[in-house]
Amino acid sequence: MKKSNFHFVRQINEISVLRIVRDEGPISRSEVARKMGVSKVIIGGIVKRLIETRILFEIGKGQSTVQGGRRPVMLQFNADAGLAVGIEVHLHRANILITNMNAEILHEGTVNFKDNTSPQSILKRIVKNIEKLVDDDEKMSSVLGVGVALPGLMEYETGSILSSHSLKAWEGYPIRTFLEDKLDTKVYIENDVKTITLGEYHWGAGQDAKNVVYIWLGEGIGAGIIINGDIYRGITSSAGEVGYTEISARGINRGRFPILYQGQHRFGEILTTRNLELSMLEAVNANGKQTLLNKNDINLNAIATASKKGDELAQDALKEFGQILGVLVISVINLFNPELIILGGPVIDKCPYVLEEATRKAKEDVLLVPAEIVKIRAGALKNRAGTLGAVGMVLQDLFKPPIVNLATYRSLILPG
């Protein structure tokens, strides 16, 4: 066997051993070998290496088999042997999350910054914050990697932002190179909505599904797509830009949506927090309806509170928002036919009525079979979805299912 092929098989075996011990430990070497269908000798060598690196450890002896014999030594996964760092960069802040290899949260931090602050200055502060949170040189050396979630389109080869509406000054800046030099570890970058999708898929609302579309609504709209457990980027890494979808052919007009429709052309213009707030301000000024809303203090929190208290105008606006979102959801269902759609963002988090209306509207679709089968639910991780998704980029080898069938692989590379 070629040396490179040997190392590849060994790495696949090591990842498989780690995954089995992590998911099913405490477990014996012989049981691991049985589950993988390889010899005890191979497992013994892998376990020896992993114990030397402190990723696995022995915790004592288990029970004898029904046939008797020696009690087996049991193995346990040491999740604290390595750290993963997740960073989510917003317009005026960066959230930082540090976890162990089970994605259990150890430290959290935030770096705030103002407009026109250079990316280099912000990244320096992020590095210092990470070092302060860990506060241990030996533990810093155990950082497995850093995942970074960023708004906009990514240039993955250079590790930079290709295009971003909110972080224009960051376009082209070598983010990955800077962080790898400062932290001496591997750095992964990804679009923020795709990263949130990974977070929800691994640890949130999407854990029980393989084909998922996550739709995020805030100051704009974006979607993350997971197909058979893998994030789908598209040929130009712009898959999921549903905010640019035209609304003119979908029956969205002033007559049906008198509060929110102001002549917008795309879903990304009408289904935003800002449009909801501005439309409500106009409605309060122009509408004769009684309302709890104060025209001098109209924001998402006030709208959500008024709706929960039965305010008719607030409920009408959120109903419109939900129904328009439902129209978009129908398009996503018919295009991707996923088993699960997750909705997230400030409006979904604060206004459950929107989720109810969007779901009801989607279930009315003419293609009843996919509409009936698909599950629609709110995101579960709230503000931590992005940073946990960034951690997931670092830990993906441990969390993804095996990508190679070892028996098939051996039949291709080993002599008959």
Confidence (pLDDT) at 294: 85
Same domain, 321 and 370: yes
Confidence (pLDDT) at 52: 87
Confirm whether 413 is domain-assigned.
no
Same domain, 306 and 179: no
Confidence (pLDDT) at 367: 64
Q: How far is residue 321's CA from residue 16's CA, in Å, rounded to a whole number?
A: 46
Confidence (pLDDT) at 413: 44
| Spatial strand order in the sheet of 56-61 | 27-28, 73-77, 56-61
Torsion of CA 230, 232, 237, 238, to 10 degrees: -140
Digit-by-digit pLDDT tens for the chain (416 residues) are 333 444 545 677 888 888 899 888 899 999 999 998 888 898 899 899 888 888 898 887 766 655 556 788 899 999 998 999 999 999 999 999 999 999 999 999 999 999 889 999 999 999 999 999 999 888 898 899 999 999 999 999 999 999 998 899 999 999 999 999 999 999 999 999 999 999 999 999 999 899 999 999 998 899 999 999 889 999 988 899 999 999 887 889 888 999 999 999 999 999 999 999 999 999 988 866 678 888 888 999 999 999 999 999 999 999 999 999 999 999 999 889 999 999 999 999 999 999 999 999 998 865 666 667 899 999 999 999 999 999 999 998 777 655 444 444 444 444 44
Same domain, 243 and 151: no
* CATH number of the domain to which 46 belongs: 1.10.10.10
Residue 374's domain comprises 206-380
The 8 Å CB, 24+ separation contacts for 125-130 are: 126/87, 126/94, 126/96, 126/179, 127/179, 127/182, 127/183, 129/96, 130/85, 130/96, 130/98, 130/183
Same domain, 214 and 118: no
Tokens of 108: 């959290």
Q: How far is residue 98's CA from residue 107's CA, in Å, rounded to a whole number?
A: 5
Same domain, 375 and 265: yes
* CATH number of the domain to which 125 belongs: 3.30.420.40
Same domain, 7 and 103: no
Residue with tokens 């949506």: 257
Same domain, 177 and 28: no
Q: How far is residue 407's CA from residue 411's CA, in Å, rounded to a whole number?
A: 6
Confidence (pLDDT) at 369: 63
In the three-class reduction of DSSP (H, G, I as helix; E, B as strand; rest coil), residue 91 is classed as coil
Residue with tokens 């991707």: 336
Tally DSSP H helices, then E strands, for the chain: 17, 15
Same domain, 126 and 261: no
Whole-model pTM?
0.86
User: Which DSSP string corresponds to 133-163?
Assistant: HH--HHHHTTEEEEEEEESSEEETTTTEEEE
Number of domains in the chain: 3
Confirm whether 414 is domain-assigned.
no
Same domain, 276 and 371: yes
Same domain, 247 and 303: yes
